[in-house]
Amino acid sequence: MSHPFIKYHATGNDFLIFSHALQDPHGVAIKHCHRRFGFGADGILFPTRSDVADIKMHYYNADGTIASMCGNGYRAFVRYCLDEGLLSGTSFRVETAVGVIESTLYQDRDIELKFNHVIEELKPPHVLKPTKLKNPVMIENLSMHVLFVGTLHGVVFVDDPFKVSDELAHAMCTSSFFPHNINVNFVAIKSPLEINVRTYERGVGWTYSCGTGSVASGVVAHMIKGCESTIKVHVLGGDLTVRLHDSFWHLKGSVTVVGKGEML
């Protein structure tokens, strides 16, 4: 059986989006997200009906693991649903593995989503020992601020995120302190209004962009480094805006359709 899909990218974070639930999404993600032997993507997405929201989003990383939340994937998913007539209007409620998340379509076609919770204190099994955002843990001799923004993230301040080695990033991601690994964001402060971010995602590796990682980085830059409540986040794939509004953090950015394909 063939399965048509449309490929989107959200500031370089790319996804294969299918119109219906797949029989083996784990296997499909591993095979078809491969950059050499497949179509190439950071993950796959597909919609199903929701009893509590407008629609439900399912996301699998490139290695076949289920991701509880993906900020850029969410934005690509909403754009796909709009393009395919599954959603309409400018305000949406999407069911995810971490609950219903609201979003807005702007006139410039950018999509902004609201993060319901930023959890600053974490306990096992997510971490080996209880942590607090403002009290960094030492991982590979570097200070890491740990938080949960729909998925587990660590934020590490460095002089240049783009000079961090693959070996260091992988070691921090797979540290035994995190039983299920962690997404690691390497952040440099450019000004109170701008930061550079490079993210090493569990299940993916280095990405051109990470939506939840950008939010995590913005939150920590604001709380620890005194950055403003609206921050421009520069990633390899472009720019995102992270802002604090009405006590909630938001993520805004562009989504681009790449093309259509068919999985055989």
* Residues with active-site annotation: 70, 210
44, 59 in Cβ contact below 8 A?
A: yes
Query: In angstroms, rounded to a whole number, what is the distance separating the alpha carbons of residues 54 and 47?
Result: 10
CA distances from 61 to 152, 186, 220 (A): 14, 20, 25
